[in-house]
A and B are shown apart, each in its own frame.
Chain A
């Protein structure tokens, strides 16, 4: 769900730039701005604005638009958090829009600190109304999604913290990809997915401080849905403080998923459901990420002390032959 994570009392402006390139011919440049302000009367606001500018066509678009198709996506969100003693209440909304899809989400979440902030119990709820637009028919479909989650974060020792989470998402409405095609009786056809899907995810995360300014992070997620897609995600990482100003880290992520029950490499006869959506195929993937964070003592390029620069590169490869490289550069500027 990506519910708002809050860093209390941190007024800051974050600019990130993501460059995504994959083997399907997609290159996406995504600048993103996040602004967080704490009003210290127990109210904090987070505003986000991002743009995905697809500059080259995906292989689906390239069939009809060999010179490329412009499909920019804009996303913006606003979250307001209010503290009532040890309880934090967040209300927020997110809106994203691109040529063939718009999504509007309202969310509410609550978190409570217990036991001198050693335990945090949180829960949230989100409702989304999404509208995919078919192409080239220009018929607008709709989809409703209800999402709920709960999590418990526990500090076990000065050096160990875990988080357990569960999320359930129910989607009703049009869920077929309007672009991805599969072969039905030899004819390439846009798929037909069921219009109801319930998704469950369980996660366990660990952060462990190791000797010598080194830290371990381990995340595991188990996922299952009513289309019979099951997946396991495991990521392991290490980061290290090189002096007071530099943090370096690396992580490895392994992902495995089973196919949707109505998946076939190609279809014959009169199947009720059929799909060319690669997200519903069985595959494994491995990815490796390297990261560097620099927080120079006297500030950075005229920006105040405490300004941080992040550089990250991820290389992703799946058994379907899909590969992607993602470069992220970000600047975090503390504000008074």
Chain B
């Protein structure tokens, strides 16, 4: 009985996916290395709302998005947002040059080999992923426009309101 119901539920879900659109994917279980050298395991962040912002010193729109994401971090961290700015420069010295120019308070992580970018299946630079309290990627942004930060804010507030 239960077996048949479970089967029917799985079948219904599989059939519903093309109709409903993509089901939120789980964030990959991968470990980042912070600027401080400390490891950050994505799975350990469950229970928090996380904004992962992928940036590089050579990414021209990042020169505008980086300080604005940092400002969003200062604004929403008291409300429970965790921001991790993941750098994908192959030569870390270029990242340090960028960080000297742009003061920041958010957590910086390094991904010089692109393993984290690969795990998150980045389609463009810059990219941002917003992960909910259950570790599911709920929003993905590619590129940066002057509307991006306000979109981040409304999406983060929506996820912060969930599961409290």
On whether A and B touch (CB less than 8 Å), the answer reads: yes
Chain A interface residues toward B at CB < 8 A = 7-10, 39-42, 116-117, 244, 305
Contacts of B60 in A (CB 8 A): 7-10
Contacts of B49-92 to chain A: CB distance below 8 A: 60-61, 63-64
Which chain B residue lies CB-closest to A334?
B63
Residue in A40, A244, A305 whose Cβ sees the most chain B Cβ within 10 Å: A40
Contacts of A39 in B (CB 8 A): 146
Assess whether B97 is interfacial by the CB under 8 Å rule.
yes
Chain B interface residues toward A at CB < 8 A = 60-61, 63-64, 97, 101, 123-124, 144-147
Q: Which of B101, B124, B144, B145 is in CB contact (< 8 Å) with A305?
A: B101
Known contacts A9-B61, A244-B97: A116-B123 contact under CB 8 Å: yes
User: In the complex, A33→B101 CA distance in Å?
Assistant: 27
User: In the complex, A246→B122 CA distance in Å?
Assistant: 32
User: In the complex, A65→B124 CA distance in Å?
Assistant: 60
Contacts of A7 in B (CB 8 A): 60
Closest CB in chain A relative to B10 CB, distance in Å: 33
19 residue pairs of the A-B complex, CB under 8 angstroms, read: A7-B60, A8-B61, A9-B60, A9-B63, A9-B64, A10-B60, A39-B146, A40-B64, A40-B144, A40-B145, A40-B146, A41-B145, A41-B146, A41-B147, A42-B145, A116-B123, A116-B124, A244-B97, A305-B101
Which chain B residue lies CB-closest to A297?
B97
Contacts of A10 in B (CB 8 A): 60
Closest CB in chain B relative to A76 CB, distance in Å: 26
User: In the complex, A7→B59 CA distance in Å?
Assistant: 12
Contacts of B146 in A (CB 8 A): 39-41
User: In the complex, A244→B91 CA distance in Å?
Assistant: 13
Closest CB in chain A relative to B80 CB, distance in Å: 29
